[in-house]
Chains A and B, each alone.
Chain A
Amino acid sequence: MKFAVLQFPASNCDQDAVHAIRRLGHEAGFVWHKDASLGDAEAVIVPGGFSYGDYLRCGAVARFSPVMQTVKSFAEAGGLVIGICNGFQVLCEAGLLPGALVRNKGLQFRCEQVFLSTVNRDTAFTRAIPTDRPLRVPIAHGEGCYFADEETLKGLRENRQILWQYCDASGEVLESANPNGSIDNIAGVCNAARNVAGLMPHPERACESLLGSADGNAIFESMIQTATAAAAAA
């Protein structure tokens, strides 16, 4: 399977994302923000970083880049897209995901390991996630507090679009396990069509035990399984 990893000025998790995919035995290549083609990629990763210096709002400028217009069409045609950290902010700004990410409630930049409870396992991003324990992955952000108005939130719950919530080591979703003040401890969501997802934690930074955890692989493996099954059925 082939992944396209976008590169904006000041993306800084692009190399990590490519490394994580290649470690799993799949292909990953960079796509520059000024390019309007994703080539023959079967999935897109919008990586973390500080695209365009995070000027105006995180993700606000990246959204209008040439590559994002192509990503929009790719997503509308059903292609798999995942946004990580700044990539999540970009996808929200682009309107590909509901809600927005605002300044962490405690005003601090939080850089630490967190635990994630997987809320909906029946998606292209979660199906390979082990069921016996929460995922252990790192976060590193100053503006990761997920916000959506009441009506949007109701829709997210009803359509089971909340994919991950911050939890404690035993898997319990508690306010004390919420690192940034996100509504309902939300760490990641998907769109209504379930082919676009975003999360603030970094699965690509948890892709081998040397890094303290290899739990992030399960998210990429879910995407690979989904795309492989779809290709086999076609």
Chain B
Amino acid sequence: MKAKIIITPKKAVFDPQGKTVQNALEHMGYTGVEGVHVGKYIEIDLADGDVEEARKKIDEAAHKFLSNPVIEDYRLEIE
């Protein structure tokens, strides 16, 4: 079983990395780019077991440790 956590900066937090990548894309000629947000992707290998239980545990870890709720949002997928 695998947990996949995608962490992105909150919209209210200025994201200079995203802005720099956006500027670079524009310079390279990629038009129509309206926003870039640079975040993190974490993959956790889990022993096989109850999916809902794993989701609960990893969700808690993502809230407490893997992301900082003051500045980041996250999305959790278990597969």
Footprint of B on A, CB under 8 Å?
Answer: 56-57, 60, 64, 92-93, 99-100, 102-107, 145, 147-149, 181
Contacts and interface: CB of A to CB of B under 8 A. Distances in A.
Contacts of B16: 103-107, 181
Contact of A181 (B9, B14, B20): B14
A88 to B, nearest CB: 14
9 contacts: A102-B9, A102-B13, A103-B16, A103-B17, A104-B16, A105-B16, A147-B13, A149-B70, A181-B16
Contacts of A105: 14, 16
Interface centre among B12, B17, B65, B68 (most CB of A within 10 A): B68
Contacts of A92: 70
A147 B71 contact: yes
A107 B70 contact: no
Contacts of A147: 13-14, 70-71
Contacts of B71: 100, 102, 147
Interface string B61-75: 000011010110000
Interface string B1-18: 000000001001110110
A102 B20 CA distance: 15
Secondary structure of the A contact surface, majority rule: loop
A64 to B, nearest CB: 7
Interface string B47-79: 000000000000000000110101100000000
A60 B68 contact: yes
Contact of A145 (B12, B14, B66, B68): B14
A109 to B, nearest CB: 13
A60 B65 contact: yes
A192 B56 CA distance: 32
Contacts of B66: 56
A148 B65 CA distance: 18
B14 A99 contact: no
- Pick the 9 closest A-B CB pairs, nearest first: A100-B70, A100-B71, A107-B16, A105-B16, A147-B13, A103-B16, A100-B68, A102-B71, A57-B68
Nearest to A149: B12
A64 B17 contact: no
Given A56-B65, A92-B70, 14 more contacts: A56-B66, A60-B65, A60-B68, A64-B65, A93-B68, A102-B14, A103-B16, A103-B17, A105-B16, A106-B16, A145-B14, A147-B14, A147-B70, A147-B71
A231 B13 CA distance: 43
Contacts of B65: 56, 60, 64
B23 to A, nearest CB: 11
A106 B14 CA distance: 11
A106 B70 CA distance: 21
Nearest to A106: B16
A163 B29 CA distance: 46
